[in-house]
Amino acid sequence: MEQRQLGKTGLSVSVLGQGGAAFGQQYGAVSATEVAECVHAAIDAGVNLMDVAAYYGKGVAEDYLGRALEGGWRDKVHICTKACRLDRDVFDFTPEGTRKCFEASLKRLRTDHVEILLAHDIEFADDYEYVFNETYHVLQQLKKEGKTRFIGMSCYPLGLLKQAIERCDLDVVISYAHCNLFNTRLLTELMPVAEARGVGVMNASPLAMGLLTNQGPQPWFPGQPEVVAACRKAAELCRERGADISFLGMQFAYAQKRIPCTLTGAARKSELEVNLKALSAPVDPQLLADVMKVLDPVRDWTWPCGNWKG
């Protein structure tokens, strides 16, 4: 599998990263055995980055990944996990809370360190200055202690993520739902800032929180109905052509050479195999052009998230 350099970290990461939200039952029940089969198949296919969080299943995702990586598998992957978000509406960005959360993550992951530790969904913080100072400081401390090799932050608003990069000496950030078939603002707005500072960027949610799937987003999706309608129309066009919009969406994300790694959310081996196929299958240029045209009315639309007002 193709590997790309993750900013200034020196890590060479697979273009497809294994996202672990689904490990934590975020999208339906999945067993530890199914997760292990998926993880092992991913590693065998060349995937070397696994992304989880304390929030995913309230620790279940980390526990399942930790189990799956026993028996020598741990040495074959880079682990990225996230602290500070504990539940849908529960956050703790204090140094004490961040450290406590991360120490519990290490136990669940059955390891003494991770490669990447991020402050999770910082747009939900009440005080961004606090995050850029106090939360950032504890991340630095954990790095100095050798418990994580690299540090960073994640969030949805690109304006806030840009500030994080400019204000803090971060190694890695995760952006989600900003590099997909209808929104490429990650490339135009964040990448120039990240590249100038050598910050590695991972692209999460390449199917835009389920918008670019046949099923569509969850009922709680926070975006505009116009976005939902346009993506539904694009999915219908793909079906009429005998194609799947989620497959096309993955192809599009993988093709963005400036993005070191795109995180996919498979929890079962069968789901992983579809994502792997999208890596090598040629894109239908006419289908892509027609889908883009359908999505043009909502091109680069975003929606409010957290407490960010920028």
Residue 253 resides in a domain: yes
CA distance 10 to 141: 20
Residue 263, domain CATH: 3.20.20.100
- Looking at every residue in the chain, the average pLDDT score rounds to 97
Span 199-213, mean pLDDT?
A: 96
pLDDT tops 80 at residue 59: yes
Mean pLDDT of the 36-55 span:
98
298 within some domain = no
Question: Quick check: 310 pLDDT over 90?
Answer: no
Query: Region 226-235: what's the mean pLDDT?
Result: 98
226, pLDDT greater than 80: yes
Position 125 in a domain: yes
Per-residue confidence at 27, pLDDT binned at 50, 70, 90? confident
pLDDT, one tens digit per residue, over 108-134 is: 999 999 999 999 999 999 999 999 999
| CA distance linking residue 140 with residue 301, whole number of Å | 34
Contacts for 206-210: CB closer than 8 Å, 24+ residues apart: 206/179, 206/180, 206/249, 206/250, 206/252, 206/253, 206/262, 206/263, 206/264, 207/180, 207/246, 207/249, 207/250, 208/177, 208/180, 208/181, 208/182, 208/183, 208/249, 209/176, 209/177
241 domain-assigned: no
What pLDDT is stored for residue 26 in this prediction?
A: 77
pLDDT of 220 over the 90 cut: no
Judge whether residue 5 has pLDDT over 90. Answer: yes
Count the residues in the chain.
310
Q: Single out the catalytic residue among 55, 56, 128, 254.
A: 56
Q: Is residue 57 part of a domain?
A: yes
CB atoms within 10 A of CB 1: 14
Report pLDDT for 218: 86
Q: Does pLDDT of 262 surpass 90?
A: yes
Closest CA relative to residue 209, chosen from 62, 55, 26: 26
- Quick check: is 223 in a domain? no
Average pLDDT estimate for 42-67? 97
- Is 136 catalytic? The answer is no
Our CA angle for 143, 145, 148, nearest 5°, is 40
Check pLDDT > 80 for residue 228.
yes
Find the DSSP H helices in the chain: 32-44, 60-68, 95-109, 128-130, 136-144, 158-167, 185, 191-197, 225-240, 245-254, 269-280, 285-295
For residue 176, with 0-12 CB atoms within 10 Å meaning exposed, 13-18 middle and 19 or more buried, which class applies? buried
Rounded to two decimals, the pTM is 0.96
- Output the CA angle 291-295-301, nearest 5 degrees: 150
> Is 90 exceeded by the pLDDT of residue 167?
yes
Let me know if residue 140 belongs to a domain: yes
The total number of structural domains in the chain stands at 1
pLDDT at residue 114, rounded to an integer: 98
How far apart, in Å, are the Cα atoms of 296 and each of 43, 181, 293? 37, 10, 5
**pLDDT(198) > 90:** yes
Is 239 a domain residue?
no
Domain that includes residue 130, residue range: 3-214+249-282
Residue 117, pLDDT score: 98
